[in-house]
Structure formats: C-alpha cells, structure tokens
C-alpha cells in the first residue's frame, strides 16, 4: 500500500507515541478483505461518493467487511483516492457541497438496518491527497465494540469509489429509500446518536477505505 509522505509521517508518529501493545492485543485493518480496484476518477465516467455515510457490506464471498471482530479502539483510517481532473473537481465542488472531505463513523447496528452513530472522527480535506493512498491517525481513538460497523462519512464528495466489480460486491448508504438515486441530497450522519436506515444498496462498487484497530487485550485463560 502506498501512502502519501505526510500520511506516512503522521501515522508513524502516532504509533510511536502509543505504548507497546499489551499481551493479547492485536492490530487489525478493518476493510482489507482484498486489494480494491483503483477509484474511477479521472476516467469517464468519474463517479464519487457524495453526501452520505456508507459502508462496504460485501466483497465477493466475504461478508461483514467493515464489522469490528472484537472490542477495541480505532486509531487511524486509510482512504485510497482517485485523481480527478480540474473540470471534474470543479463539477463536484459546484454540485455536491464544496471541497472534498471525509471522515469515519462508528455505527451501532440496529434492527431493520437502522444504525446509530456511536462515534466519529474529524473530517479531513482530501484534495491535497488526490491520486494517493493516505492514512489519517486519530488524535483521539474511537471506541468500537464487537459487531459495530466502521463507515465512511462524506458530507460533500470523495473520489473513493471503485467500479466494475462483480455482482457480489456491494455497499450500503444512509440515504432515504426514496433518494437512493439522488446523490446530491444530503444524508451524511454527522451527529452522535443519529439513527437512520441503511436500505440503499449499490452493487458492483467498492468504497476504498479501511480502519486500523487495536483490540482490547484478553487475559490468558487459567491453566488446568
């Protein structure tokens, strides 16, 4: 994975400041089921994630791609960005709420796909990193419980959508069911405690992000 020099420097510093992982703790990359295809931009059509919160539900045969496998802390997140041209950037800026920004959200799953925001990272401006894979360390880690989801929140737009994948690759968005085909309508979950259904399902596409998690250490089982 190629990181931008700034993302690599900050990530290295963040992990250097962390104490050594206790016995039993593990570092896990949530969302690394397989190497994603490059985001669509600057190809034509150049499609982007816009004005929503979404998470990858399935990649091929692998389900629960963005589900935390244990309790722990999210300490960083990574996004692979396309490199849209000037005209494409101007189009998205003019029609989808301004400059490209994104962050991650921790969602507590609910019945009938109604998920609640349990935590979220600061939003990051993305344009300086177009055409790279960049990692953003978190000044404050996000608590995550086993079974919780890690979603990508994009209040404006982000060139972080890989297209043309198999029909078993799909992601869900927080858009209302009557607005699944309205990418310009704001549906990003930006407030703690906000709960909405994730019934808009998109096939053959992948959100190109992941999250770095340190699991809560478990004491060894007593012998005998």
Whose CA is closest to 128, among 98, 103, 99? 99
Question: What's the pLDDT score for residue 5?
Answer: 37
Could you tell me where the beta strands, DSSP code E, fall in the chain?
27-30, 49-59, 62-63, 72-80, 101-108, 114-120, 124-125, 133-144, 149-158, 161-163, 170-173, 195-197, 200-203, 205-207, 209-215
Task: Summarize pLDDT for 81-96 with one digit per residue, the tens.
Answer: 999 999 999 999 999 9
Does residue 28 have a cis bond before it (omega within 30 degrees)? no
**H/E element, 224:** none
Whose CA is closest to 31, among 187, 159, 210? 210
Give domain limits for the chain.
5-10+26-177+185-215
Other beta carbons within 10 Å of 111: 6
Ramachandran quadrant class, 8 (left: phi over 0; alpha: psi -120 to 50; beta: rest): alpha
Give the tokens for residue 32: 């690394």
Question: What's the pLDDT score for residue 44?
Answer: 83
pLDDT tens over the chain, length 224 residues: 434 434 444 444 444 445 554 557 899 999 985 556 789 899 888 999 999 999 999 998 889 999 999 999 999 999 999 999 999 999 999 999 999 999 999 999 999 999 999 999 999 999 999 999 999 999 999 999 999 999 999 999 999 999 989 889 999 999 999 999 999 999 999 999 999 999 999 999 999 999 999 999 877 777 76
Question: What's the pLDDT score for residue 37?
Answer: 77
Question: What's the pLDDT score for residue 9?
Answer: 43
Does residue 45 have a cis bond before it (omega within 30 degrees)? yes
Task: Summarize pLDDT for 32-76 with one digit per residue, the tens.
Answer: 855 567 898 998 889 999 999 999 999 988 899 999 999 999 999
How big is the chain, counted in residues? 224
């Amino acid at each position: 994975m190629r990181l931008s020099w700034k993302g690599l420097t900050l990530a290295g510093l963040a992990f250097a400041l962390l104490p050594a992982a206790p016995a039993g703790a593990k570092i896990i990359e949530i969302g690394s089921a397989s190497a994603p295809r490059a985001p669509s931009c600057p190809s034509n059509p150049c499609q982007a994630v816009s004005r929503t919160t979404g998470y990858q539900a399935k990649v091929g045969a692998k389900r629960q791609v963005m589900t935390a496998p244990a309790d722990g802390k999210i300490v960083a997140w990574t996004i692979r960005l396309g490199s849209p041209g000037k005209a494409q950037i101007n189009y998205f800026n003019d029609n989808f709420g301004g400059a490209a920004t994104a962050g991650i959200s921790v969602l507590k799953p609910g019945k009938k796909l109604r998920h609640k925001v349990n935590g979220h990272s600061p939003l990051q401006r993305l344009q300086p990193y177009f055409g790279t894979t960049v990692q953003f360390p978190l000044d404050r880690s996000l608590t995550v419980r086993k079974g919780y989801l890690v979603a990508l929140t994009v209040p404006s737009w982000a060139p972080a959508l890989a297209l043309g994948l198999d029909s078993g690759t799909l992601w869900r968005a927080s858009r209302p069911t009557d607005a699944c085909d309205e990418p310009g309508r704001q549906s990003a979950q930006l407030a703690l405690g906000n709960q909405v259904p994730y019934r808009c399902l998109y096939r053959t596409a992948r959100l190109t992000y992941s999250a770095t998690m340190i699991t809560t250490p478990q004491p060894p089982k007593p012998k005998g």
